[in-house]
Amino acid sequence: MKRSIYDKLISWKNDSKHKPLLLQGARQVGKTYLINEFGHKEYSNFIHLNFEQNPELSSLFQKELKPEKIIDNISLYLGQKITSDDTLIFFDEIQASPKALTSLKYFCEETPEFHIISAGSLLGVSVGKESSFPVGKVNFMKLYPMSFFEYLYAFGEKLLADTLISKTPVEPFIELIHEKLLSHLKLYLYLGGMPEVLQDYLDNKDINTVRKIQNEILEAYKRDFSKYTEKSQAIKTSELWNSIPYQLAKENKKFKFSDVRKKARATTFEQTIEWLRKAGLINVVYNISKPKLPLAGYADYSKFKIYLIDSGLLGAMLNLSSDIIIKPTDIFSEYNGAFIENFVASELISSEHKDLFYWTSKSDAEVDFIFQKGNNIYPLEVKSGFNRNIKSLRSYADKYKPKLIYRCSPRNFLQHDNFVNIPLYAVFSLRNMR
């Protein structure tokens, strides 16, 4: 299935100053499949070493970390001579071998002619360990669940996808096309963006199997809680993880530690949130009271919302029934719009909005997302239904006078003066809007 990041991998390959590449991303987002496809299509020789499946591979890095010696050891292990000529070496699940991770520093310094990509489900967690991480000696990329744009490609809607990704004028689609895109979006919200889930549905059209795969992915995440953290921390991680759907189902989605455990305080779960964030399993949206640049400098990190990386997994945790797909608008408003806000957060992150923020006033006004384009700051309010009320947006606009104010809803494209409505299926086209 086509992934947007593929073109970046091509650019990395062709960059004469490239460093070893670290591909980060949560488990099951398609890292191994992507690099296998890239390696076989773009190189004459492809070497794939998985340190989680074959723990003995770590012994190839135990005695010394000189790249020439490591390459010789790999050659002897595989029974083939490895050279740098049109060869890609893939260190998969590299977090299972700290010395292999450290070796990337020496590959960068001593043998930059080798093309090396490393990937791992818990790389974000491993990066914090100073003893093993090659600071400044690697390039980074992140892979997320498949976006709605990538879903359209996978489901044979290339023309629709290309039209959306390049769309700049705020000009409505004809109603037939608009409804077609909304139908696709409802299915996507249920399926989510995990490649295995989408591929299975494409192959079998079996919703029951889809839910089974989603639950298996959730179980794999829970096993990671125990495998990569101490027992006491694993318990806290499970508690917090299990509370997220409930927290999102509330009218006020601000995260409360007391909803995880009675009388719990921030200090009890701060480390847990950071672990889940670095593992790529959650998106955290922080509160700002003043929308000024840099946004991060005005964030209140004690106030935040937590969203899952994938709407399909959120639906599985809530045991959402599949008949909601064929209902006109139910999935948009289900659980107080939790799916829609979760979806928008994921789309913004995959569109390379590195950090997410929301705004609240001293009164009751709240804008769901605040984002930056160039030196401009824009508000984005998410509406799960067809309600035209934009009171919070107007409150924000009166106070800060942004060039444009955005609403994201099931409605078609619309612009009136400085107000712009973006259909939910076109969130990623915000990067094209002026």
Give yes or no: residues 275 and 406 share one domain.
yes
pLDDT at 328: 62
Give yes or no: residues 384 and 257 share one domain.
yes
Give yes or no: residues 88 and 137 share one domain.
yes
Q: Which domain holds residue 22?
A: 6-142
What predicted TM-score, i.e. pTM, was given to this entire model?
0.92
Give yes or no: residues 404 and 255 share one domain.
yes
Average pLDDT, the chain: 91
291-328 pLDDT, tens digit per residue, is 999 999 999 999 999 999 999 999 999 888 888 777 66
Give yes or no: residues 180 and 300 share one domain.
yes
**CA dist., res. 60 & res. 190, Å (int):** 44
Q: Is residue 264 part of a domain?
A: yes
Number of neighbouring beta carbons within 10 Å of residue 138: 20
Q: Is residue 213 part of a domain?
A: yes
Q: Is residue 260 part of a domain?
A: yes
Give yes or no: residues 69 and 124 share one domain.
yes
Q: Is residue 162 part of a domain?
A: yes
Domain end position, chosen among 142, 175, 195: 142
CA dihedral over 374, 379, 382, 383, signed as positive or negative: negative
pLDDT at 130: 47
Give yes or no: residues 153 and 138 share one domain.
no
Give yes or no: residues 418 and 285 share one domain.
yes
pLDDT at 390: 86
Q: Which of 4, 74, 2, 63 lies closest to 37 in space, CA to CA?
A: 2
CA angle 45, 123, 352 (to 5 degrees): 90
**CA dist., res. 207 & res. 339, Å (int):** 18
Give yes or no: residues 113 and 221 share one domain.
no
CB 210 within 8 A of CB 197: yes
| Count of domains for the chain | 2
115-143 pLDDT, tens digit per residue, is 999 998 887 676 555 456 788 999 999 99
Q: Is residue 169 part of a domain?
A: yes
CATH number at residue 125: 3.40.50.300
Give yes or no: residues 425 and 302 share one domain.
yes
Q: Is residue 1 part of a domain?
A: no
**CA dist., res. 384 & res. 411, Å (int):** 10
Domain end position, chosen among 115, 142, 169: 142
Give yes or no: residues 135 and 192 share one domain.
no
Give yes or no: residues 100 and 183 share one domain.
no
Tens digit of pLDDT at every position of the chain (434 positions) = 889 999 999 999 999 999 999 999 999 999 999 999 999 999 999 999 999 999 999 999 988 899 999 999 999 999 999 999 999 999 999 999 999 999 999 999 999 999 999 998 887 676 555 456 788 999 999 999 999 999 999 999 999 999 988 876 678 999 999 999 999 999 999 999 999 999 999 999 999 999 999 999 999 999 999 887 888 899 999 999 999 999 998 888 999 999 999 989 999 999 999 999 999 999 999 999 899 999 999 999 999 999 999 999 999 998 888 887 776 667 777 777 888 999 999 999 998 788 899 999 887 789 999 998 888 999 999 998 777 778 899 999 999 999 999 999 999 999 999 999 999 999 988 877 66
pLDDT at 277: 94
Domain end position, chosen among 142, 173, 204: 142
226-259 pLDDT, tens digit per residue, is 887 888 899 999 999 999 999 998 888 999 999 9
Q: Is residue 197 part of a domain?
A: yes
pLDDT at 430: 86
pLDDT at 132: 66
